[in-house]
Chain A
Amino acid sequence: MSNTEKEDGSMNSTATPATGTRTTSLGNVATASAAARARSEQPVGSGLEARNVHAWFGKYHAISDMSLDFPTGTVTALIGPSGCGKSTFLRTLNRMHEFIPGAAMAGEVLLHGKDIYAPGTDVTKIRLKIGMVFQKPNPFPSMTIGENVLAGIKLAQLKVTNKNDLMEECLERAGLWNEVKDRLNQPGGSLSGGQQQRLCIARSLAVRPEVLLMDEPCSALDPGSTLKIEETISELAKTMTIIIVTHNMQQAARVSDYTAFLLSDGGPGQIVEFAPTREIFTRPKDKRTENYVTGRFG
């Protein structure tokens, strides 16, 4: 019943950025990044905004009053010591938070100005627009590499005219196509950890999200694979909004345009400082940020 609706809602609205990707990824890298810069300088409006977000697990107040803007086409890194609520905040942004029994939230998360927590919102549609990559690579083991890429199409019952094109495009964007093009029929679990994670990224891309949330995507990977994923992130950021939680400050410095430093001072986690990444790492305004990014604690 909601089949056609779903298609109208998610596929058409994302058709433009998707075609944009193809041309940029084929074109000159310099012009592409220049275009991206130009785009982020333009007031394109916030793709995603968090407004006074609180989150609870039962009685435990995990994060308090977090407000952030995530402009379209930028990478935002969330950094902070363990337990400061980075992942919890990330999970409120696509309504994955509510899967934990006893979870509650307050505030608003706006996607193009519309509250994703508004009553009557179809949660599955929200998650199509705001994709997620997890800490541990989690391809579906019962599916082949190719099927994994298209898993979202199957799960969300979307219609695609040319599955092979979509598969190739997504694997290409995730930087995995050359490594797997000859073995698309092998199980997803046959890949290395880093390849599995890129497969998961490709899988997220297949449903054409506008925002991609990444929850420590490289923490289980070796440096080489980490570097590949970071390249992928930079490439993807040309066409979509990326929010990445990371424990690795060098990674935050390498991949992100903006960085938010989160901290829990015994109480719920809060945003201490939010600024362009360069500023956070070179001249942080808050003493606590400085202590953290210089490695004095955390």
Chain B
Amino acid sequence: MALLEVSGLEVRFDTPEGVVKAVNGMDFEVGEGETLAIVGESGAGKSQLVMAIMGLLAENGSASGVALFDGEDLMQMKPRELRGIRGRRIAMIFQDPMTSLNPYLTIEKQMIEVAMHHQGLARDEARAHAVEMLRAVRIPDPEERIRQYPHEYSGGMRQRVMIAIGLLCEPELLIADEPSTALDVTVQAQITELVGRLREQTRMSIILITHDLAAVAEVSDRIIVMYAGQMVETGTVDDIFYRPQHPYTRGLLASVPRLDRVSDDELQAIPGNPPNLLELPSGCPFRDRCSEATEGCRQPPPLWQGEGGRASRCVLPMDGGQIVAAEAVGEDGA
């Protein structure tokens, strides 16, 4: 049994303009010790997917579906039970380290409260534990720096602190939502390296959310490519990088700058914008931007499944794949 099994997950937001269909039926698993990358453009629903799992959606958001964590459905849990899991068994780090730490409290206060609350540690023990964690994420001089406020830390250091907070209770699952996006490129590499090291040193499962396909290649086991709130393709890192099936995945790969072919071709961008999530088109949501779109794309695309969890949602046949289902996305928006 996988650590996290998500099926049929949908997220809706009630807005004055109408209902935003942010996530439209996601199914996936995260195994023990596995690192899953969820990749897609902004607005693809990746963040809202994990926020729904954590029970942290905004007030106007609602989620349905099943998210079994260690056999228990997170979606059915009472707020109190969910709080017992958040921060202790599932930790989350966010995109913007500049605003994700409380500017009015010292790093120490923000760290020890987790250990004191979940593990029942005394203040001194919690502090020692926090210092140890800061050292693990390579904050220099942690005994001194733990007394400082977030504004005395650089962006990269703040994200390290966020990771250290996440690691305090040795969670089984770490969800990292664009952990390096808001940072300088050199710092991005350090954070990615840190995540990679944690992945090797701990038995923790990781969900890594990013819009940057290149950034996840080295640190992930499997990749899910998301578009308009749906999985469009999934497979191992090698599958996605060397045998991409879905035109969207190929477009994403072509838009990654590569050092090994500098002058040969220009950087390829995917034309157009993601569809309006208020009125999803029936049929394939990618068809208006797809260079290989045909008349058949007006129908909901079939889901192809292959060996080892490989899948693609497209009219184009998948190598070694079987059609399992054709699902309608914009059923009520047609």
Is the pairing of A and B real? Answer: no
